[in-house]
Structure 1
Amino acid sequence: MKKFINGNKVIRHSNAVAAGSTDITPSGAIDTKGFRRATFIAEFGAIVSGAVTGVRVQQSDDNAVADDYTDLTGTALAVADDDDNGVAIVEILEPQKRYLKMIVDRATQNATLEGITVILSEPDSEPVTQDATVLGSEFHQSPAEGTA
């Protein structure tokens, strides 16, 4: 049986950002070396009526040393102003460049970003070493009832 925690690397890409700022660019990039797939999950809190909010994914060969980050075609996803406490998910299979990051655009009214999580999957080898942002992980198959 394939275990999620052995075959996927979980990374906290961005921490919560209070309402009020505009574009949110995570400071760190996601290095996809050794993985075929990256799934970005943006978690939203309260979104004010009239807000124009969206997410998109960008890529770079060298984490913007000489190759600036550029948008990936078709990755823009609109977040409606009544999508409070929802998530926006963008999945990239076989990115053409090594580094990725998700950008959250907040153009008008306030929208609270609770955080962005990235799951890197389909690794070249297993088990995968988890990112430092993962506090712990466990796998249980058919666990019995009782004290956790």
Structure 2
Amino acid sequence: MKATRTGSSSALTPRQEEILELVTRGISNKAIAAQLGISIDTVRRHGARIKQKRAASTTSSIACQHLWARLDNALALSLPDHGLTPAETRVVAFLCRGLSSKEIARALKISSRTVDKHREHVLRKLGMHSTRQLTAWVAGQCAKSGVPVAPDKS
């Protein structure tokens, strides 16, 4: 039965579109499940399919996916001074690309615990509770600053 689905389109289903919209607004899986009247496991399964179809490594990164080609410049243009250190800003950029703490640590040549502390400080400074909420906020800030929403196809 699964073999017939291997050739499935990369287009999102209406339910996946609905969940994607909620994810990009920074809403948690638990809140999405409650809002749509489905189980958290169902939300996670849809999330996994969305990530696969969008070639994203994390659900949190989907909100910023349209910024990946220009992410560093977009962050510099769209993030007003919120008291973030340069190291914290670099961590935000990697989080928006969907990297894990270990991957960020390797890229920045620091420990993954240091990355986690930077993430914790960023969330506290911005009054947020999750990386998903952070990346949705970054995408929103970029949109308000006039950063293009369409991916760079050059």
Whether the TM-score (by the shorter chain) exceeds 0.5 is: no
The higher relative CO (CA closer than 8 Å, separation ≥ 6) is in: 1
Structure number with the higher strand fraction is: 1
- Shorter-normalised TM-score: what interval? under 0.3
TM-score of the superposition, structure 2-length normalised? 0.26
Structure number with the higher helix fraction is: 2
TM-score of the superposition, structure 1-length normalised? 0.26
